[in-house]
Amino acid sequence: MNALVLLHTEQGTLPKVALETLNLACGLGMPFSVGIVGQGAATAADMIASCGATTFEIVDAPDVAQPRYASDTAAAAALIQSAGANVILAPQTSRFARCLPGVASRLGLAVDTHIAAVTAQDGAVKAQRWFYRQRILSSFSRDARPWMLLVDSGVNAPWQGASGTANAQSVPVNFGEQRTTVTGVQALAADAQTIRPEATLLFVAGAGWTKKQKDGQFHIGRASGIIQGFLGKAKASLGSSKSLVDLKSEGQETLSFMSHMNQVGQTGSTPRHPKGLSTCCHGEEPHAVGWRFITERRAINLDANCGWAQGKADVVYVGDAFEIMEKVNALLT
């Protein structure tokens, strides 16, 4: 049995999730080769030359300099066919999540997504993934081969090791006719993007920020300034409770930079961050489910008896989040 670790470059280097996937493959104890798609693939192969791969194959044609379904599918299919592996591990990036299901269909591979762990023992490969909003962790295997597994980010430690000379070989690809031309990328400025999967800290804002405060008044402008100030200084990722993001659809004044994309919880997301700070937020769903993968948990709430404070947070600061976060921002300055 042998494996292929299929990776792609991002701005000429390997993204962190690629190194996490590589590390997972290194721990399987089976021979594996590496295939890399994208600009700078040969340099990227040199970066991981000491990982123990049997061979390195690349597609570094101008056609794959930009992510595009048609060319990425052709390149990934060529690398998979050339490697002839039984098991293929690939990082679940947006680029691969878009093209690899198409590759699986084209080549007749079995494919599973959102993989958290893979083990191999006596020829039996088992994968793990979460189901039902991260409440049930399932271990499963398939008889079908080749079997392609897209690995989620933030679960495994990234591979670390010396660079060297990988002697990566180019694999020829017939790209055929390309109907899509990539003319550029339009993205928010890094600071305007509030969802930051790689951030050390998840900062969750609850509906309390938009409630009447002790002077009987709303302070939504002040809340916006405090939260945005903190996110800018701490480079934290912003999460929200459902109640807070729902205010917008009810036509109430709320935090303009908050959308349903920020919502964590049972009907929101379950991000992975080493630390979490919950502010003005009481809800059970954002915390019990949304914080499942948050390692160190802290909260600021006026109410020492709030549901979240009771038993689920490691540290609770009982106090006014406006005053506390203003002080924190001042200290960060």
Ligand X SMILES: Cc1cc2nc3c(=O)[nH]c(=O)nc-3n(C[C@H](O)[C@H](O)[C@H](O)COP(=O)(O)OP(=O)(O)OC[C@H]3O[C@@H](n4cnc5c(N)ncnc54)[C@H](O)[C@@H]3O)c2cc1C
**Binding region for ligand X (CB under 6 A):** 206-208, 211, 213, 241-244, 263, 265-268, 280-286, 290, 300-303, 306, 320-322
> Among residues 43 and 262, whose Cβ is nearest to ligand X?
262
C-beta of 40 vs 265, nearer to ligand X = 265
CA distance 24 to 34: 13
- DSSP characters for 121-142? ETTEEEEEEEETTTTEEEEE--
Contacts of 238 (CB under 8 A, 6+ apart): 194, 195, 203, 204, 205, 227, 231, 257, 258, 262
In the complex, the smallest distance separating the C-beta of residue 245 from ligand X, rounded to whole angstroms, is: 8
Residue 173 or 207 with smaller CB distance to ligand X: 207
Phi, psi (deg, nearest 5) at residue 264 = -105, 155
**Nearest distance from C-beta of residue 231 to ligand X, angstroms:** 17
Residue appearing with tokens 């999540």: 97
Alpha helices (runs of H) in the chain, residue ranges in sequence order? 16-26, 41-47, 69-83, 94-107, 220-234, 242-249, 284-288, 321-332
Cis peptide before 146 (omega within 30 of 0): yes
Give the shortest CB-270-to-ligand X separation in angstroms. 9
Spatial separation of the C-alpha atoms in residues 69 and 61, rounded to whole Å: 15
Residue 247 token pair: 């205010």
CA 324 vs CA 227, 297, 298, 305, 330: distances in Å: 12, 17, 13, 19, 10
Nearer to ligand X, 12 or 319 (CB): 319
**Other CB atoms within 10 Å distance of the CB of residue 259:** 14
Least distance between ligand X and beta carbon 322 (Å): 5
Nearer to ligand X, 76 or 201 (CB): 201
Query: Which C-beta is closer to ligand X: that of 68 or that of 273?
Result: 273
- Residue number, 191 or 284, with CB nearest to ligand X: 284
The distance of closest approach from Cβ of residue 269 to ligand X in the complex, given in angstroms and rounded to an integer, is 8
Minimum distance of ligand X from residue 294's CB (angstroms): 14
C-alpha to C-alpha distance for 8 and 10, rounded to whole angstroms: 7
Q: Tell me the closest approach of the beta carbon of residue 192 to ligand X, in angstroms.
A: 23
Residue 296 or 320 with smaller CB distance to ligand X: 320
**What is the DSSP track for 294-325?**
EEEEEEEES-TT-TTTTTT-SEEEES-HHHHH
Q: How far is the CB of 147 from ligand X (least distance, A)?
A: 32
CB of 54 to ligand X, least distance (A): 45
Question: How far apart are the C-alpha atoms of 154 and 236, rounded to whole Å?
Answer: 15
**How does DSSP assign 274-292, residue by residue?**
EEEEEES---HHHHHTTTT
Question: Which of 206, 271 has the CB closer to ligand X?
Answer: 206
Distance of CA 306 to the CA centre of its chain: 30
Contact of 12 with 58, CB cutoff 8 Å: no
